[in-house]
Structure 1
Amino acid sequence: MKKFITNIIAVSALFLASQQLNAQKVVVNREVETTNDGKMLLGHQLKEQFLKEPYADWYVKERDEYAIDQKAIAELKKAKINSYNLVVFMGTWCEDSHRDFPRLMKILEELKYPENKLTIIAVNRKKESPTGDEGLYNIQKVPTIIVEKYGKELGRIIEMPKTGYIERDLVDILKKDDSSVFKEIFKK
């Protein structure tokens, strides 16, 4: 009898664990139809999604026309940007996102940035996503590009790059990371 009860408990625990795993699955490339904005991407996205209509209209044009600052690209390579994680919040309804998101993607292509280190989250006009990630990152404006290392935020570009160039702002963020490491070493 004792073995029977133990087996029932074990099976129940496995069942509950599998239910929990299923509940944590994130839907990728969700697209919704809205009254005011028509088709809109919402939640976690893959970059290929932006090559589809109606997003390709603005995405491809802006990406192809953007002239990258090669000096900043060289600095980003030297600073090993590919070892950092990027989290990007954007809106397919937002003009600033229409401008800066394709530019960022062109920069990342130039850097051969690993796709598994990039998280793209599309939000609605209220800056909300289905998973609620915007709350974890305190997103107020889009686009917001967040640079992380070891799960810690190092800096972010909010709405528009301060220098006028995303790649230059990224260089500035990575320079802060280097200097903060030196400060920690010499502080002790």
Structure 2
Amino acid sequence: MKNILTGLILLFAMNVGAQELNKKIEDPNRHKQVMLNECTREAITSFAEFKESYDPNYANYKPDSTSLDQLSKLLKGKKVTIVLGTWCGDSKFQVPHFLKIMDALKFDIDKIEFIAVDGTKHCENGLIDNLKITNVPTFIFTDKKGTEVARITERPQETLEKDMLKVLAVAKTK
């Protein structure tokens, strides 16, 4: 009985700071429903307001095939955190392109974390407090230890593929 009680207390303690996955809220700044906190790819890409831009932007994007081989090598052992706004025009444009690239690379979707923010670029319970998010989308690349090695903020300077090559190549030399 004591072990069961201890287990329940531990389970409760672990869930106190947990986020609701795929949470939707009425954003007081945007006056519309947005997604918040950690989300799955499926939830984001099927969220009505995001989906209407996601589908055509994903379908029409043609990844730069000459960059894919190099990118595949540079992404080995990396994870990606995408901080986005389901309300944000740049997120609606860049996230589908990014995912089309990652799909072309056959990058493991389990190594991509999606975090949706509200109109003030915040989440609940300090989920992104240490990420220094100024604009969305922000693509953060981390190594096996979880240390940030590179990021692309809001939109690429050239193309996502070229910018990824640049930032990941610099990260490799450090």
What TM-score do you get using the length of structure 2 for normalisation?
0.88
Q: Which residue of 2 aligns with 1:62?
A: 57
Counterpart residue number, 1:173: 167
Equivalent residues of 2:49, 2:86 under 8 A apart: no
Tell me whether 1:85 sits opposite 2:106 in the alignment.
no
Q: Which has the higher contact order (CA 8 A, sep 6+)?
A: 2
2:26 aligns with 33
What percent of counterpart residues are identical? 24
Deviations, residues 40-62 of structure 1 (Å, cap 9, x unaligned)? 11111111121342321001111
Q: Is residue 2:114 matched to residue 1:124?
A: no
Query: After the TM superposition, which residues 117-156 of structure 1 pair with which residues of structure 2 at under 5 Å, given as runs?
Result: 117-149=111-143, 150-156=145-151
Contact kept, 8 Å, 1:34 with 1:40, in 2: the verdict is yes
| 2:69 maps to 1:74 | yes
Q: Could you tell me whether the CA contact under 8 Å between 1:84 and 1:117 is conserved in 2?
A: yes
User: Aligned partners of 1:47 and 1:119: how far apart in 2?
Assistant: 9
Q: Distance in 2 between matches of 1:37 and 1:65?
A: 30
Is 2:111 the partner of 1:112?
Answer: no
3-state DSSP of counterpart to 1:171:
helix
Tell me which structure has the larger Cα radius of gyration.
1
Match of 1:96 in 2: 90
Query: Which residue of structure 2 aligns with residue 185 of structure 1?
Result: none
Among 40, 44, 63, the alignment partner of 1:46 is 40
Corresponding letter in the other structure for 1:162:
Q
Give CA-to-partner distance per residue, 1:74-107, whole Å, 9 cap, x none.
211133x142010111101111111111111111
Aligned-partner residue type, residue 150 of structure 2 = G
Paired letter, 2:19: V
C-alpha deviation, 1:132, in angstroms: 2.1
- Structure 1 residue 34 displacement after superposition: 3.7
Matched residue type, 2:25: V
Counterparts of 1:22 and 1:179, CA distance in 2: 39
Unaligned runs of 5+ in 2: none
- Distance across 1 between alignment mates of 2:8 and 2:150: 41
Change (3 A) 1:28 1:11: closer
User: Could you list the runs of 5+ residues in structure 1 that have no partner in the other structure?
Assistant: 1-6, 181-188
- The alpha-carbon deviation at position 29 of structure 1 amounts to 1.1
How many aligned residue pairs are there?
A: 171
